[in-house]
Structure 1
Amino acid sequence: MATGSVIKYAIILVCFASLWTCHDAADTLKPGDTLNSTSSLLSASGTFTLNFIEKAIRGSDNSFIAILRVKSGANKAWIANRDTPILSSSSPLLTLDSNNTLKITHQNGDPFVLFSAPQTNDPNTSVVATLLDSGNFVLQEVNSVSGSTIRVFWQSFDYPVDTFLPGMKLGVDHRNGYNWSLLSWGTRDNPVSSGPYSLEWDTDAHQLKIKRSGTVYWTSGVYADGRFQFILPDVSKKRYNFSIVSNQDEDYLTYTSLDDPTDPEPEWVLYTRGALYEYGASVDIIQAQNCDGYNIVGGCVRRDRPSDCTGKLVMIFIRKRVTSISLTLALRDPPTGLVLVVRIVRLLVGKVVTALDSTFHPVVRLLVQDADFGAWTVNSLKTSLQILLLFCQQRNHPHQIHHLRERFVSLAMY
């Protein structure tokens, strides 16, 4: 009898220490339940977990409620308080209180409220917060006996962060004004701020678009034959089942996995620098930061050059990363040096258009022949002419040197 009392007392202590009611299912919070930094929710099939994570910001540990897959190195698919970090030292708690308010409380200020559901007068129903196997966290009214859903008040899928999971929507809900889109994280210096890149669904053109500060950098291309033109065209139909819905209530794109047990679950992540990354397959869909406004490869969008670009000696589109010393070294060992020079030109210039006429030596013309990489600015043209001048001096081509110097004179006005 004494042994039984000790065991019962120990169970009570464990429950109290974890701030968890032991009769609750592992995937659900009921009114009065609380989640602390050492406990978590686990979806019914064990595919997703919801728990507090910590991130150091400017020297302080901050806590966030996160949803992620149950696997090593999992992506943080959703963050509840992305723009509102909470100091870990303030003992944050996720709770569904007796008034059906789902919130994060802490000791340093007002709670972070996710949603307040209305009170139900029906004794046969209750309000619960459940983590689903899709990774969606829902606040819903359920039948107290069967557990079946009666209505959903709030769900995390309506507030995506930087990750597009199967079953999520990108688009617009005309009934309540929801705009489902991804938004990249901020910079390392300010990681909790929203980043410059967004992934949105164009409800008119029925294409995905990546924007940087509101300007379109990339589009997915048209949807045909079960895939988008610029979304992993070789494997897309093997991994995704896309659905496009357009009616008076909603306009959106969603997708599901084809459930190949040998294939990782899809998970699209929009990174700070503009890359749209397929986390499951570990492959880039597109690196939108390389879409410079002239390059149209892979869905990149051509844009007008800024009005102040021409006529000012500013390097807007490219950064110089090569010194004259490295160029000289590269030129000492033709043809290896020639290959390096070509690569340097491509790096500095982007799309290398034929700026020099056909009278040039064929080897020199090779340096300015390429396609679909970007475009010239005044500075990048000067930089490339400098590279070519070095090469011509090294190879002793006096006519080409004279022509190049004339080109510099013609650019002197800029």
Structure 2
Amino acid sequence: METAAIFFMFSLLLFRKCYAAELSNVSNSWYLRDGDTLVSTTGIFELGFFKTDNSENKYLGIWYKKISVQTVVWVANRDRPIPAGASTPVFKIADQGTLVLLNNKSKIWSSGTTMNASRNATAKLQDSGNLVVMDQHEKVLWQSFDYPTDTQLPGMKIGKDYLRGIEWRLSSWKSSQDPAPGEFTWAADTLGYPENKIKQGALVKYRGGPWTNQRFTGVTLFNMSINYAWVAVLNNMEVSFTYIVENSSLLTYASLNSAGQLENWVWLKDAKKWQLSFSLPGSICDTYNICKAYGSCIASADMVKQSCTCLDEKRFVPRDQKGWDMDDWSGGCVRRTPLDCRNGSERFIKYSNVNLPDTESTWFNLSMSLDECETICLQNCTCMAYTYPDTSLAGRGCLIWFNDLIDIRLLPEGSAGRDIFVRMASSELGMTCVPSVPNS
């Protein structure tokens, strides 16, 4: 009997060594080796070890299981690969509920300590693509959705959790073959009214515009995606933006590539390929602050060339007219009649169909009325404009800009642009000109 038991155990070990296993969970006693995969409940996603095309280095990642084109959506050890020829790596839960990736007992990656440690924790991969660590009561101790790499899946947040001190952001791969963090990030800028930006290091390359109920003012392409429902949370506990796919059978993801493009992809079942839904920046006019202060960009028909116009060519003039005439728009525009806050006669002119300016130097109050907003702006000589930030607030809410308005753009009719009230000298108030933008 003892001999039979030993033979059975030996056979089990041999079977595990020769055949990859599909696991439903990982714990401190049941772990994942190279060749094994952790599979989500209905088999949409799987986690395991992978290599890029041009390297023998190994990474622990998550990808779509049933799609022939391997599409990695999350990487654990992205900046510390397991080198070729290394001993068999092991992925498991260590004491106190911490996920660890080991290579020859050396720690390659760890999920870090959790607030509520548990000796009986297990890790499971959800059908959303979220790797979660739970205690015996199924309370989530850690999740991969809190630590995105270059991909945002439906339900994954971009923003900041103030209570836990977590920032949800995308960071590009260094190259298409190297998942190490690259130059570009897609994150929420919360210095003023929250909005998302693509940055190359500290340099802003693209701005999505502030949230204004179900959309971002600077991203008109989102309106074309009728399968998405956008969700925003703006309070003192968190600022976050995410999207939900109304058609649960639709496979889609957004990713920030190594060139700094934010791309949305949809899987075409019949064609068995990924279809690019949209890519941002989409044209030369999406380039951040390309026309400088009070300048509005107009793209050529092929979307690769620009021209700039002042926000209002009657009330604003180029700062450098000579340069402007030579297609040098770097000086931006200034008011034809300078402001003189001391005389108290300044008022505001309404501009419609506007991609709202950069909100970094702003202040907002979501319970204030628009009239109260105007009064507060008038009382502050550095306040240049105001608006109501969210159209769902039944006419309430106040967003005011300090200093010059930058990265502003007039949009064609029907583009769901917003109204903005810009401060002007009293002598400019009686003019009847209306700003316009070509429909090109």
The reply on whether 1:200 has 2:187 as its aligned counterpart is yes
- Among candidates 93, 100, 118, match of residue 96 of structure 1: 93
Report the CA distance between 1:6 and its aligned residue.
Answer: 11
RMSD: 3.6
Amino acid at match of 2:57: N
Alignment of 1:38-187 (within 5 A): 38-55=35-52, 61-70=56-65, 71-90=67-86, 91-98=88-95, 100-107=97-104, 109-117=106-114, 120=118, 126-143=120-137, 149-150=138-139, 152-187=140-175
- Among candidates 264, 270, 274, match of residue 256 of structure 2: 270
Cα contact 1:19–1:36 (8 A) shared by 2:
no
Aligned to 2:344: none
Deviations 1:37-91 (A, max 9, x none): 111000111111001001366xx51111111112121421100011111114212
Amino acid at match of 1:67: I
Alignment of 1:217-296 (within 5 A): 217-224=205-212, 226-229=214-217, 230-236=219-225, 238-259=226-247, 261=249, 264-280=250-266, 282-283=275-276, 285-288=278-281, 295-296=284-285
Deviations 1:216-249 (A, max 9, x none): 222223444633341524422x121111112221
Moved over 6 A (4+): 4-7
Deviations 1:348-389 (A, max 9, x none): xx33689xxxxxxxxxxxxxxxxxxxx6599xxxxxxxxxxx
Shift in alpha-carbon separation, 1:260–1:169, aligned structure 2, 3 A: closer
Shift in alpha-carbon separation, 1:232–1:44, aligned structure 2, 3 A: same
Amino acid at match of 1:83: D
Cα contact 1:18–1:39 (8 A) shared by 2:
no
Which of the two has greater helix per residue? 1
Runs of 5+ consecutive residues of structure 2 not aligned to the other structure: 268-274, 293-299, 310-326, 331-440
Report the CA distance between 1:256 and its aligned residue.
Answer: 1.0
Point out the structure with max Rg over C-alpha.
Answer: 1
Which of the two has greater strand per residue? 2
SS in structure 1 at match of 2:85: helix
2: CA distance between counterparts of 1:251 and 1:53?
Answer: 34
SS in structure 2 at match of 1:68: strand
Q: What TM-score, normalized to structure 1? A: 0.61
Aligned to 1:13: 13
Report the CA distance between 1:192 and its aligned residue.
Answer: 4.4
Report the CA distance between 1:98 and its aligned residue.
Answer: 4.7
Amino acid at match of 1:64: Y
Cα contact 1:33–1:97 (8 A) shared by 2:
no
Cα contact 1:269–1:277 (8 A) shared by 2:
yes
1: CA distance between counterparts of 2:241 and 2:47?
Answer: 25
2: CA distance between counterparts of 1:201 and 1:256?
Answer: 18
Amino acid at match of 2:59: F
1: CA distance between counterparts of 2:113 and 2:210?
Answer: 40
1: CA distance between counterparts of 2:206 and 2:98?
Answer: 40
Cα contact 2:171–2:184 (8 A) shared by 1:
yes
Percent of aligned positions that are identical: 25
2: CA distance between counterparts of 1:31 and 1:195?
Answer: 33
Aligned to 2:408: none
2: CA distance between counterparts of 1:275 and 1:134?
Answer: 24
Report the CA distance between 1:166 and its aligned residue.
Answer: 0.8
Report the CA distance between 1:100 and its aligned residue.
Answer: 3.3
Aligned to 1:311: none
Shift in alpha-carbon separation, 1:176–1:6, aligned structure 2, 3 A: closer
Shift in alpha-carbon separation, 1:46–1:352, aligned structure 2, 3 A: same
Q: Kindly indicate whether structure 1 or structure 2 has the higher relative contact order, using CA contacts under 8 Å at least 6 residues apart.
A: 2
Cα contact 1:19–1:33 (8 A) shared by 2:
no
2: CA distance between counterparts of 1:352 and 1:226?
Answer: 30
Report the CA distance between 1:268 and its aligned residue.
Answer: 0.1
1: CA distance between counterparts of 2:100 and 2:113?
Answer: 8
